Amino acid sequence: MAEFPKSIKNLIDAFERLPGIGPKGATRLVFYLLNTPKAYVNDLSQALVKMKEETKICQKCFSVSEQNICSICNNDHRNHRQICVVERAIDVMAIENIGEFKGVYHVLGGVINPLDHIGPDDLKIDELVNRVRTICEEELKKMGEESNNCYIVEVILATNPTMEGEATALHIKKRLEGLNIKISRIGSGLPIGADLEYADQATLCRALDGRRDL
C-alpha cells in the first residue's frame, strides 16, 4: 500500500490536531501548500512564529494583547465597573465588533467541563472574584455613604448558552454572592448551543440589551 512521504504525513498529522480539521481537510491543506510558491509558505511560517512570540495575555482581563495590559483595560473612557465575562478571547472580539458595549472584559479561558477534566480551578474565576472585590473596596472608599443601596459593579455573565456555559455562570454567581454588585446573564438573543464567535452583530446586540439579573 502506497504511503505519503514522511514530511507530508507529518504535516497532515499536525493539521489534524487543529479544531475542526479532519483527515481529508488536513490532506487538502497540505497539498494546497505543496503547490504554492515557497515564498508564501515562508511568510506563513514566519507569521505563525511571530504570533507566538509577540502575542501576550493581558494581566488584568486575560485577553490577547501586544502589551502586558490590553488597550481596552488601558482605556480610561471605558466603564471599568461593568465587566463582561466571556469564555475566550475570540468572544471579546465578537462583542467589540458590535460597537455598543462600553465596559471591560474578563476572559475565563474556557468553561467548567468535568468530561474534559476542566474544573473551576483551571479557569480564571479566582482572578475574577479578586478583581471584582478589589474594585468594590476601592469604589466604596471613594463613595462613602453614597454607596448605600446602589450597585458598585455590574458583572455580565456572557458564557455561551450551553450546559457547560450555564453551569459556569451559576458557579461564578455563587462565588460573587455577598458583594455589592449586580449580576446579569446575557439575554436570549443567542439560541441554546450557539457560540458567540458565529453570531451576527444584530443577534449579539439583542443578547447584550436583553441581559437579565441572575
Write out pLDDT tens, residues 63-106.
999 999 999 999 999 999 999 999 999 999 999 998 889 999 99
13-49 residue pLDDT tens: 999 999 899 999 999 999 999 999 999 999 999 999 9
Closest Cα partner for 172 from 180, 184, 162?
Answer: 184
What was the pLDDT predicted at 186? 81
**HEC states along 77-130?**
CCEEEEEEEECCHHHHHHHHCCCCCCEEEEECCCCCEHHHCECHHHCCHHHHHH
Which runs of consecutive H residues, i.e. helices, occur in 104-212? 125-143, 163-176, 201-209
The Cα 193–Cα 102 span in angstroms is: 26
**What pLDDT score was predicted for residue 159?**
93
Could you report the per-residue pLDDT of 163-194, keeping only the tens digit for each?
899 899 999 999 999 888 999 988 765 666 66
pLDDT value, residue 188: 60
Residue type, 24: K
Is CATH 3.30.365.10 the right assignment for the domain spanning 76-213? no
Q: In whole angstroms, what is the distance from residue 156 CA to residue 161 CA?
A: 13
Architecture of domain 6-54: Orthogonal Bundle (1.10)
Reported pTM: 0.79
First to last CA, the chain: 60
Whole-number Cα distances in Å, 184 to 49, 133, 136, 209? 39, 17, 17, 11
How far apart are alpha carbons 175 and 125 in whole angstroms? 9
pLDDT confidence of 151, banded at 50, 70, 90? confident
pLDDT at 212: 66
What is the structure's pLDDT at 201? Answer: 73
**C-alpha cell at position 22:** 479532519
Residue spans per domain, the chain: 6-54, 76-213
Residue 147 has pLDDT above 90, yes or no: no
